Amino acid sequence: MSFPVKHITTTIKRSARDVYAFASNPANLPQWAAGLSGSTISRSGDEWISESPMGKVKVKFAEKNLFGVMDHDVTLPSGEVNHNPFRVMPNGEQSEIVFTLFHLPRMSASEFEKDAGLVATDLKKLKATLEKTM
């Protein structure tokens, strides 16, 4: 079984190395990922705990790597774990970021579109945050 997906992407006028260094650091999530973290996030072992709009969630990022992979698992308050593929790729002197959103069976079409809009908003905030620090 597979799920429909939506790839949400944007270009950031920063190097992939800069984007990766910032976006793969969970401590930076409150600066740009409103859908995933509130105003604070704290570390607990290899997981990060955040008060999100969904309630208290655990976030675990992929190990640091040279390929721009920022995949992360989010454990919801219910105990359900969602895997979120997330990448940064060089595009000349800029970067492309791509978040893959799965349309899971428990989501209605309108919930899926709302979630896609929230992710797009977060990526725009990431772009704005990184481009203003140039």
Estimate to the nearest angstrom the gap between the alpha carbon of 83 and the chain centroid.
Answer: 10
To which H or E segment does residue 61 belong?
Answer: strand 55-61
Residues 6+ apart with CB under 8 A from 30: 37, 38, 39, 40, 41, 50
pLDDT tens readout for residues 63-111: 999 999 999 999 999 999 999 999 999 999 999 999 999 998 888 999 9
Instruction: State the pLDDT at residue 111.
Output: 93
Query: Can you give the residue ranges of every domain in the chain?
Result: 5-132
Position 118 confidence tier, pLDDT thresholds 50, 70, 90: very high
Mean pLDDT of 107-134: 92
Contact (Cβ atoms closer than 8 angstroms) between residue 32 and residue 126: yes
pTM exceeds 0.85 = yes
pLDDT reported for residue 96: 98
The phi and psi torsions of 66 (rounded to 5 degrees) equal -95, 5
**Could you tell me the fold of the domain covering 5-132?**
Alpha-D-Glucose-1,6-Bisphosphate; Chain A, domain 4 (3.30.530)
pLDDT, residue 79, reads: 93
The CA radius of gyration of the chain, in Å to the nearest whole number, is 14
Q: How many CB atoms lie within 10 A of CB 59?
A: 20
Confidence bin at 134 (pLDDT 50/70/90)? low
Q: What is the pLDDT of residue 112?
A: 94
